[in-house]
Amino acid sequence: MNEILTALKRASAMMFSPRIWALIGRPMLISLLFWGVAIALVWWLAGDSIVGWIHGLQFGHAADVSWWQRVVNWLIGIGSLIVCSLIFLLLVVLSSMFVISAFGMAHINAAVATRYFPDLAARQGVSMWRTMRHTIGWTLWFAFFWIVSTPAYLVAGLGALLQTGVIARFNQKIFVLDALANHADPLEYEHIAQQHNRNLFGLGLVVTLLGALPTFVWLGSVMGVVLIPLTALLSVLTFTALFTFCGLAFSCYCLQALHDKRVSSANTAQIRKV
């Protein structure tokens, strides 16, 4: 537990760095711009067909439509807006996470190593291709279980519980490899991932709960429904900042574990020599 608290304390201190917020802002803006242009292009090419399909689900707009049919029409229209916003949010969040994980973690690890572990040797034993395959695989895993668990929100508390576990597990699997990719060899990575499995999942759970709370409050409020564009932007910022904070926390934890392991191995080797 002390190791987790130390990692969180160090990560919190580094979140005040302009260098870290630059890492947060760039992937988010790139993802927003990319998916905004993509959706605008889809709407330009097929907007009329999409609107026609939504109208086809409704009862029509004739004067003789009953009140309950008007309510259903309204729910279909609002539901379509919410579904589209959630899809856009998911695409932006996942692509931001991928950009940070694939290209930003090296900068995060370098910042953590420079500040806390300047003498830790970088062995670069985990290849970039393995890291990218690992990231893509677990990102698809996250997307699948995030979508599958969304209907569980119909049962009070169950959706939040399931998705918290999914995100915590995703954080653990992604960031342990990313945090050690530049400094550990494959054997060191396997050792730390196995020996610290419980603490690493606990760390992922803690940062998930801390970062997800503002998003659940916004999306669960009436204001969150009315101001979907604003809440979507705040949610993207929250998730991206959480992802970066998570990277910092795991980097602090894993590099400390790697440092301790190497010190212990060196001491053991020294004792054997004596």
Could you report the per-residue pLDDT of 94-118, keeping only the tens digit for each? Answer: 777 777 766 677 788 888 888 888 8
HSE-CB for 134 with a 13 A CA cutoff: 19
**Mean predicted lDDT score pLDDT of the chain:** 75
Residue type, 13: A
**In angstroms, rounded to a whole number, what is the distance separating the alpha carbons of residues 176 and 247?**
9
Each residue's pLDDT tens digit, 241-270: 777 888 889 889 999 998 888 888 777 766
Annotate the chain with three-state secondary structure: CHHHHHHHHHHHHHCCCHHHHHHHHHHHHHHHHHHHHHHHHHHHHHHHHHHHHHHHHCCCCCCCCCHHHHHHHHHHHHHHHHHHHHHHHHHHHHHHHHHHHHHHHHHHHHHHHHHHCCCCCCCCCCCHHHHHHHHHHHHHHHHHHHHHHHHHHHCCCHHHHHHHHHHHHHHHHHHHHHHHCCCCCHHHHHHHHHHCHHHHHHHHHHHHHHHHHHHHHHHCCHHHHHCHHHHHHHHHHHHHHHHHHHHHHHHHHHHHHHHHHHHHHHHHHHHHHC
C-alpha distance from residue 51 to each of 143, 169, 172 (Å): 27, 38, 41
Over residues 145-190, the pLDDT tens digits come to 878 877 777 776 677 778 788 888 887 888 888 888 888 888 888 8
More confident residue, 129 or 60: 129
For residue 127, give Cα distances in angstroms to 47, 53, 58, 172, 193: 43, 47, 53, 19, 17
Whole-number pLDDT of residue 253:
92
Residue 86 CA to residue 193 CA, distance in Å, equals: 33
Give the model's pLDDT for residue 222. Answer: 43
Percent residues over pLDDT 70 in the chain: 70
Q: What tokens appear for 271 in the block?
A: 């004792």
Give the tokens for residue 98. 């991928």
| pTM for this entry | 0.68
pLDDT at 203 over 80: yes
